[in-house]
Amino acid sequence: MSTVLRQQSPEQNARRARAAAQLREFMPRAAVLTDKEDLHPYECDGLSAYRRLPWIVALPDTVEQVGRILRLCHEHDIPVVARGAGTGLSGGALPLEDGVLLSLSKFNRILEIDTANRTATVEPGVRNLAITDAAAPYGLYYAPDPSSQLACSIGGNVAENAGGVHCLKYGLTVHNVLGLKFMTMDGELITLGGKALDIPGYDLLALMTGSEGMLGVIVEITVKLLPKPERAQVVLAVFDEIEKAGDAVAAIIAGGFVPAGLEMMDNLAIRATEEYVKAGYPIGAVAILLCELDGTNEEVSEGIAQIRTLLLKQGAAEVRTAKDEAERLRMWAGRKAAFPAIGRLSPDYYCMDGTIPRKHLAKVLARIGELSKEYGLGVANVFHAGDGNLHPLILYDASKPGELEKTEDLGGKILEFCVAVGGTITGEHGVGVEKINQMCIQFTREELAQFHALKAAFDPKGLLNPGKAVPTLSRCAEFGRMHVHGGKLVYPDLERF
Amino acid sequence: MKEDNDISQQLAEAVKAAAQKRTPLTITGSGSKRFYAGDIEGEKLDVTGHRGIVSYEPTELVVTARAGTPLAELEAALADKGQMLAFEPPWFGEGATLGGTIACGFSGPRRPYAGAARDFVLGTRIINGKGEILRFGGEVMKNVAGYDVSRLMVGALGSLGVLLEVSLKVLPKPAREVTLCFEMPADKAIQTMNTWGAQPLPLSAACHAGETLYVRLSGTELGVQAARAKLGGKPMDKGNDFWREIREHRHSFFQNDVPLWRLSVPPAALPIDLPGKWLIDWGGAQRWLKSDASATDIRMQAEKAGGHATLFRHAKQNGATFHPLPAQLATLHQNLKRAFDPDGIMNRVVAV
């Protein structure tokens, strides 16, 4: 899908010029972008198949400016889309052709590392990994680690409730946020919590987390820091049948283990990865499982020995334990590079993000295999086995007429199958614009109406990030005739999950 | 034991009828936590008949049960498979139900290290104020489709809807637990709990009562042994009983009619200057105060420490339970309440 460059009417142009002039009354000229070449970098987020040139980009650097921008937009009924680092994978920060794109990139300061209370208070534009870097000298770290953590911002993490590979043990973003300051669309600053473990009133911390920029604009975040585990150790198990690998995961959980990471890859993903990063994966394996334990030295040693025995009993053809830290990192390097590696197999790929109850893994993979044959498109699978989050990657060539449409169709079928076995259409990437039609499958009319009522409680005029996350009821009625375009990643060199 | 029973439709009809007549309802379980928010005016909507475990998959670490299911029954089923509710919910009465537990959002001693009730809620089925049965979240660990309404229900005290079913993440019971005792005053205990909290230790509870710091370690046999050697202290014979007494407010500290305040503050906050007796739980983050001091003073001190205060038990008058919210935040609460319950018939409790 190419950039939408819709001609604006003279009235629209005048309206835009007026809005820009009003913004420049309290912001420097360089912080209000209106020229086409300045707007281009903001036309998409990590899901680059969706592009739209923003109307105006505003780059505030104080909370007061954010408040004034929002009040101005509120008064003149101008919609607003907040944007962090722009690494999101569902088009949540896709700009509007008649609204302000509010970039929070200048809010990049770490305000406080409180070692006594084990918290970090940061501005929303701070990168995820920068928090861990700042906490590291004190033996602390920030647990959620989406694989774009080098680039993605904590504000975006909160907006999307980002995950990572350690969710089973350490939770998602929602489990690690203690306080938020956000602005409502009418420019009121709301403070939720701080460094205590809970807040009075309704749990708006949980509600704001994962709300995809629909309820407020986050301007400050306090997160929990954890002590860095004394030791982490990983084992790699090789399987010749998917079912055996799935059963092994169940056996690990039933055995009372809560691994820090538990990841599975299928043969296509293994081969692509091995060719790309030489992680030492067995290219003949039907599936491999990476299982990491962390904790004290004693706990990890005891646990790893038991897991080895258990995996062999579950029919693993081979079980390797990383001999040293370098080998441990190499084993993970393969998994972390799986997306770009698979990207090399094909001109384009489309990444899905369904979550399923683990017990249905074999069934879901079998169904994906059938669909893959039926559509004539390859599908590689990487799987956060610990928490059931499946990322099928559909290989296609966008330059072949009709292939993108076929891919979207196949992707939609996979997500619908995830819902059918009791799962969900998105585990960690968010709905954004990408999965908005599948929301119609996962939720009833009444549930969607409840979402809309909830949104209106925060933003009665519907000006924050309109058209994302929750479909209108009429859109759902049209779903099927609608057509949306599938995703292609920008930043292909960034690790992805 | 009563039989499993699904009365969702019946409950939804009752809510619908109440909405039409604008009759306020009071959602009722076993009544074990009625002390908390005082009496709620309204026609009784009894959910204890809506009970039973709907599904339990130990290898998925997920259980789904109806709101009227007694915690006793649920916890026994989990224990049978070596698993537990890791937020260690207080029962506050033998009949305590899952619905009441989640509606109150209470968590026990394990909370600072394992997470709170809301952290383990994966999905809910509710009836909103219009009598519609709605499902949010699900039975999987990761799910970001739609707003997190399920967690919004935790601690909402039935003011936004009737809980019908709750899906929870469960965790394996630790292989070994030991409780260690250290004689020390409160200020040193706060410091110690937070120093240890910043180290990779298998902590699962830390509380200061009287002149003693109690610390629980949970994990593998060798892991607990090693941590115990590192910390020293005197092991306690009946550690489990001690934590149950703390959790259920049966410890001698709680045994009188002086108003009981709960102060939720940053864990390392210095001892708070208020008259009365203190019991410090959650590694410093939850402080129980037995005091006749004025609500204004207590709330001011709690805010000064970076937290808030709730009048938990033995309120001398009604209506003073909850920490008042700033005006803008209170407005958001009222708007949310209307979004779920336009006729205002659900539990009229939250202080907004």
Which of B144, B172, B200 is the last residue in one of the domains? B172
Q: Note the pLDDT of residue A493.
A: 46
Predicted local confidence at residue A488, as pLDDT: 38
One domain for residues B243 and B154: no
For residues B78 and B191, state if they share a domain: no
Q: Which of B105, B151, B332 is nearest residue A190 as measured by Cβ atoms?
A: B332
**Are B81 and B98 found together in one domain?**
yes
Question: Region A138-150: what's the mean pLDDT?
Answer: 93
**What's the CATH number for A10-103?**
3.30.43.10
For A248, nearest residue in chain B (alpha carbons): B59
Out of A60-69, A260-269, A422-431, B342-351, least confident range: B342-351
pLDDT at position B257 is 93
SS (H, E, C) chain B: CCCCECCHHHHHHHHHHHHHHCCCEEEECCCCCHHHHCCCCCEEEECCCCECEEEEEHHHCEEEEECCCEHHHHHHHHHHCCEECCCCCCCCCCCCEHHHHHHHCCCCCCHHHHCCHHHHEEEEEEECCCCCEEEEECCCCCCCCCCCHHHHHCCCCCCCCEEEEEEEECEECCCEEEEEEEECCHHHHHHHHHHHHCCCCCEEEEEEECCEEEEEEEECHHHHHHHHHHHCCEECCCHHHHHHHHHCCCCHHHCCCCCEEEEECCCCCCCCCCCCEEEEEHHHCEEEEECCCCHHHHHHHHHHCCCEEEEEECCCCCCCCCCCCCHHHHHHHHHHHHHHCCCCCCCCCCCC
User: How far A49 CA lies from chain B's nearest CA (Å)?
Assistant: 21
- Report DSSP state, residue A2: P
pLDDT > 80? residue A27: yes
pLDDT tens figures, B2-38: 688 999 999 999 999 999 999 999 999 999 999 997 7
Q: Which of B139, B225, B308 sits opposite A357 (nearest CB)?
A: B139
Residues of A in contact with B105 (CB under 8 A): 198, 203
Q: What is the mean pLDDT of residues A312-316?
A: 97
**A149-174: average pLDDT:** 94
Is the residue at B322 inside a domain?
A: no
What's the pLDDT score for residue A10?
87
Give the pLDDT confidence score for residue A482 in this predicted structure: 41
Which of B138, B154, B266 is the closest to A424 by Cβ? B138
Q: Which of A176, A185, A202 to mutate to test the interface with B (most CBs of B within 10 A)?
A: A202
A389:B141 CB<8 A: yes
The pLDDT value recorded for residue B16 is 98
Find out whether A293 and A227 touch, Cβ atoms under 8 Å.
no
Question: How far is B94 from chain A, CA to nearest CA, in Å?
Answer: 26
**What pLDDT is recorded for position B318?**
63
Task: Indicate whether B340 belongs to any domain.
Answer: no
pLDDT at B1: 56
Clarify whether residues B18 and B164 are in a common domain: yes
What mean pLDDT, rounded, does chain B reach? 96
* Mean predicted lDDT score pLDDT of chain A: 92
Predicted confidence (pLDDT) at residue B292 exceeds the cutoff of 60: yes
Question: Is the CB of B148 less than 8 angstroms away from the CB of A228?
Answer: no
Task: Give whole-number Cα distances, B108 to A449, B171, B246, B313, in Å.
Answer: 35, 15, 8, 16
CATH architecture of A110-227: 2-Layer Sandwich (3.30)
Lowest mean pLDDT among A3-7, B4-8, B142-146: A3-7
Among B106, B137, B172, the domain boundary falls at: B172
Q: Which of B133, B144, B340 is closest, CB to CB, to A427?
A: B144
B38 vs A252, B102, B312, CA distance in Å?
46, 18, 10
- Please tell me the distance in Å from B93's CA to the nearest CA on chain A: 24
3-state secondary structure of A107: coil
pLDDT tier, A9 (very low <50, low <70, confident <90, very high otherwise): confident
pLDDT category of residue A49 using cuts at 50, 70 and 90: confident
CB crowding A92-110: b at 16 or more within 10 Å, else e: bbbbbebbbbbbbbebbeb
Q: Does B257 reside within a domain?
A: yes
Tell me: do B116 and B50 sit in the same domain: yes
Q: How far is A123 from chain B (nearest CA, A)?
A: 19
Give the C-alpha distances (Å, rounded to integers) separating B114 from A12, A176, B96, B202, B321. 54, 12, 22, 11, 27
Distance from CA of B319 to the nearest CA of A (A): 14
Whole-number pLDDT of residue B319: 64
CB contacts of A299 in chain B (<8 Å) are 202, 219-220, 222-223
Q: What is the pLDDT of residue A305?
A: 95
What is the mean pLDDT of the segment spanning A179-192? 98
What does the pLDDT look like over B36-52, one tens digit per residue? 977 788 999 999 999 99
Residue of A89, A190, A203 to mutate for B, most B C-beta atoms under 10 A = A203
Let me know if residue B123 belongs to a domain: yes
Across A50-64, A116-130, A304-318, B306-320, least confident range: B306-320
Contacts of A355 in chain B (CB under 8 A): 140-143
How far B149 CA lies from chain A's nearest CA (Å)? 7
> What confidence category does residue A497 fall into, taking pLDDT thresholds of 50, 70 and 90?
very low
> What does the pLDDT read at residue A487?
35
Chain A residue with CA closest to B129: the answer is A450
Average pLDDT over residues A158-183: 95
Nearest residue of A to residue B197, measured between CA atoms: A227
Closest-approach residue (CA) in chain B for A202: B156
**Residue B214 falls within a domain, yes or no?**
yes
Same domain, B204 and B294: yes
Residues B28 and B67 in one domain: yes
Put simply, the answer to whether A194 touches B350 (Cβ < 8 Å) is no
Give the pLDDT confidence of A323-339 residue by residue, as tens digits.
Answer: 999 999 999 989 988 88
B128 contacts A171? CB cut-off 8 A: no
Q: Closest Cα of chain A to B127: distance in Å?
A: 11
Average pLDDT for residues B146-162, to the nearest whole number? 98
Nearest chain A residue to B307, by CA? A196
Question: Which of A298, A358, A391 should one mutate to test binding to chain B, selecting the residue with the greatest count of B CBs within 10 A?
Answer: A298
Hey, are the CB atoms on B268 and A116 less than 8 Å from each other? yes
Tell me: do B94 and B156 sit in the same domain.
Answer: yes
- The predicted structure's pLDDT at residue A6: 57
Question: Domain residue spans in chain A?
Answer: 10-103, 110-227, 231-338, 341-478
pLDDT of residue B350: 58
Higher-pLDDT residue of A386 and A218 is A218
Domain residues for the domain of B114 are 8-172
* ipTM above 0.85 for this complex: yes
Name the residue of chain B whose CA is nearest to A174's CA: B119
Between residues B4 and A120, the one the model is more confident about: A120
Q: Are residues B131 and B182 in the same domain?
A: no
Contact A197 B112 (CB under 8 A): yes
Which residue in B has a C-alpha nearest to residue A435's C-alpha?
A: B145
Contact check, Cβ <8 Å, B282/A424: no
Any domain includes B204:
yes
- Cβ distance B352 to A302 less than 8 Å, yes or no, reads no
Let me know whether B127 and B187 are in one domain. Answer: no
Average pLDDT over residues A448-468: 97
CATH 3.30.70.2740 at A341-478, yes or no: yes
Task: Identify whether residues B155 and B264 lie together within a single domain.
Answer: no
Beta bridge partner(s), residue B125 = B135, B165
Picking from B119, B152, B220, the nearest residue to A175 by CB comes out as B119
Do residue B264 and residue A299 have CB atoms under 8 angstroms apart? no
Q: Among A2-6, A450-454, B9-13, where is mean pLDDT lowest? A: A2-6
Q: The tokens of B122 are what? A: 């994966």
Residue of B81, B119, B121, B147 best to disrupt the A interface, most CBs of A under 10 A: B147
Mean pLDDT along residues A57-64: 98
Overall domain count for chain B: 2
Domains A10-103 and A110-227 equal at CATH topology level: no
- Residue A483, pLDDT above cutoff 90: no
User: Looking at residues A384-410, what average pLDDT do you find?
Assistant: 91
Tens-place pLDDT, residues B214-233: 999 999 999 999 999 999 99
CATH number at residue B111: 3.30.465.10
Query: What is the pLDDT, as a whole number, of residue A398?
Result: 86
A344-382 pLDDT, tens digit each: 989 988 889 999 998 898 899 999 999 999 999 999 999
CATH code, residues A231-338: 3.30.70.3450
Residue B337 lies in a domain: no
User: Is pLDDT of A262 > 50?
Assistant: yes
Distance (Å) from the C-alpha of residue A18 to the closest C-alpha of chain B? 30
Cβ-Cβ contacts under 8 Å between A and B: the total is 268
Q: Which one has a higher pLDDT value, B38 or A209?
A: A209
Residue A333, phi then psi, degrees to nearest 5: -55, -40
Q: Are residues B127 and B198 in the same domain?
A: no
Chain A closest CA to B326's CA: distance in Å?
Answer: 9
Look at B328 and A190 and tell me if their CB atoms are within 8 Å: yes
Q: Do A447 and B336 touch (CB under 8 A)?
A: no
Contact between A192 and B329 using a beta-carbon 8 Å cutoff: yes
